[in-house]
Amino acid sequence: MNVLMPNLKGRWAPRASGWKLRAAGGALAGLAAGSLCQVRAQSFFNPYTTPLPAYGSTLNSGEGAGDNFLINRGVPYSPIGAAPMHDYNMKFGPVTASVGGALSTSYYDNYNLVPEGSGLKQEDELSINPSLSIAFQWPIARDSTLHFDVGFGYAIFLNHPEFDRFTISPASAWDYQFKVGDVRFTVVDHIGTTGDSFSQRTDLTGTGSASAVQFRRLSNTIGLTAAWQPTRLYTVSGSYALDFDHGLGDSFGLADHLTHTFSTAVFRRLDSHWTVGLSASAFRNEYLEGIQNNSTGYGAGPTVSWQPSPFLNFSGSVRYNTAKADSNGTIGDRNGSSGAGYDFSVQHIINRHLNHVLSVSSGIDLGVGVNFNNTFAITYRLGWQISKAMTLNFNANRAVTTQSGAGYDFVNFAPGDVGVDPATHQLYLRDSAGVFEPVAAGALVDFGHGLLLLPRPLEESEAYNFGLGTSFQLTRRLTASVNYIHTLRLSNLPLHDYNQNTYTLSLGYRF
C-alpha cells in the first residue's frame, strides 16, 4: 500500500533570573514554594517546566532554564521581544489591574511539516490572531493576596478554516496567598490551551504527514503549596498538584489523563552567595481511555545556586528519576525509564543593555503512543536593549529525544475509510484511489475519535530551533514586534524529517 495518509502530525512560578539574590527569609520561602507547585504532572521529570530555585516570584510563565524550549510557545500572547503585560495600569479601589490587547499574524511555509523531496506538497498557511489579556491584583489583607491573570483570543487560518479556534493563554492563572502562623500557603490554578496543528512534539510531528492535523489540549492544574521557615537560614516546603489534560476537538482522546503530583523540599541559605537544597517528588498518572499505559514516577536530588556577583548567577539541579509504566493500555510500549536528570544554567547581565542565559537539561516526559520521551536539550538566549524603544532577542535550542519503546504514526480517518474482515479481524484502510488496503499488524483503532495508530520502530530525533525577534515601543501604550523562527527536525525514521520557517508580526496595546 503505497499511500501516505493524513496523520498527526504560579503565581509561584519563579523566574529563575537570579540577577540579584535577596537575603530576606521571605524570598527563600518563595523559592521553595515556587520550585514545587509549578510542576505540572504531565511533564513531571521535564526540566523545562521545573524551574531551578530562584529568588522572587511572578505570575508570568517563568524564565527557568530551558523555559523557551518551544520558542514559538505562547504566540500571540508572548512573542519574542514583546513587552510584558503585567505592569498594572488601572485601579479599582484596592484592586489594581492591567488590560491589554494584541493582534498578530503568522506565516508558515511548511504548515503540514512534510520533508522536502518526499513527493508530498508542503502547504503554507497564514493565521490571524486577535487576543485580550487581563490581570488583577487584590491585597485582601496584610498577608493575603489574590492574583488573577487570563489571556484569550481567537485564531483564524486562511487556508485551513477547519482549524479556526478559541484560545486561552497557557499563562492564564489565579492564585491566593495567605499565612497561617509561620506557614505561607498558596492555592493556585493554571489553565490554558496548549499545542495546535503545528505542535513540535517529537512523538507527533514530522511523521510523513500529507495533511496537518490538530493536537490541541485544554490543561488545568490546581495545586496547594505550604512553605515554612523555621529559622532564618532554612525553608521547608511541600505541595500537591492535580493536573487534568483533555483534548479539544481533536482525535487524541487517548492522551486524556489525570495526574497527581506530590513534592517536598528543604533549602538552606549558606550565605549571601550560596543556597543549597534537597528536593523529592512523586507522581501517579492515569489515562482515561485505557489506550496509553498508566504510570508512576519518583525523583530526588540536590540543587544549588551560586551568585558571585549581582550580575552573574549559576544554578544547578541533579536528580535520579525513575518512571514505570503499567500494562493496562493497548499500546505496545511496556518500557519504563530511569537515570540521572539534570538542569544547569548560567545567567549573566553583561551591562544595562545586554543579558544572556545558557542552559543544559536532561529529563523524562510523558509520550503519546509511547510511555516516555527522554530528552537532552541545550538552549541559549540573548537579549539586547538597543535603545529605549527597541529590543532585540535571539534564541537557539537543540533537543535530542529518544522514545522509551516502539511507537506509532497517527492517521485520522473518516467514517467508512476503515474496514474489518470479520473472519480474520484484519484491518483495511481506504487509500486515495478508494481501494481498501490491509493495515500492518499491530495497528490500533480508536473508533470513537477516528484515529488509526500505525506501528513503527523506536524513534530517535533531533530538533533545532533558531529564533530572532525585535520589538518596538511605538508609543507609551502601543508596541510592535517582528519575529522569525526556523525549525529543523532530523529523525532515524524515513519521512520524519522537516524544515519550517515562521514569520510573525504583532501589535500590542495597553489600555
Q: Where are the domains of the chain?
A: 25-96+236-245+257-510
Q: Which residue has the cell 496547594?
A: 224
Closest by CA position to 190, among listed 364, 16, 61: 61
Asked if 75 and 171 touch (Cβ cutoff 8 Å), the reply is: no
Closest by CA position to 373, among listed 316, 333, 411, 412: 333
Could you tell me the three cell numbers for 53?
530555585
Compute CA distances 450 → 204, 252, 253, 412, whole Å.
16, 9, 10, 6
Asked if 412 and 421 touch (Cβ cutoff 8 Å), the reply is: no
What is d(CA 510, CA 89) in angstroms, rounded to the nearest whole number?
A: 8
pTM summary value? 0.78
**Chain mean position to CA 388:** 31
Angle at 333 between CA 500 and CA 257, to 5 degrees: 75
The DSSP-derived string for 125-188 is EEEEEEEEEEEEEEEEETTEEEEEEEEEEEEEESS-GGG-EEEE-TT-EEEEEEEETTEEEEEE
Asked if 321 and 300 touch (Cβ cutoff 8 Å), the reply is: no
Neighbours of 230 (CB within 10 A): 10
Taking only the tens place, the pLDDT of each residue in 77-97 is 222 233 344 466 777 888 888
Could you tell me the three cell numbers for 3?
499511500
Give residues with Cβ within 8 angstroms of 426, minimum separation 6: 420, 438, 439
Please say whether the dihedral angle defined by the alpha carbons of residues 148, 172, 278 and 25, taken in this order, is positive or negative: negative
The DSSP-derived string for 330-378 is SSS----EEEEEEEEEEEEE-SSSEEEEEEEEEEEEE-SSSSEEEEEEE
pLDDT at 441: 73
pLDDT at 485: 94
What is d(CA 280, CA 392) in angstroms, rounded to the nearest whole number?
A: 38
Low-confidence ranges of the chain (pLDDT < 50): 1-86, 197-198
Q: Which residue has the cell 551591562?
A: 351
**CA max distance for the chain:** 75
Rg (CA), the chain: 23
Could you tell me the three cell numbers for 124?
503554507
Angle at 285 between CA 281 and CA 288, to 5 degrees: 165
Which SS3 state, helix, strand or coil, does residue 277 take? Answer: strand
Closest by CA position to 142, among listed 189, 94, 96, 175: 94
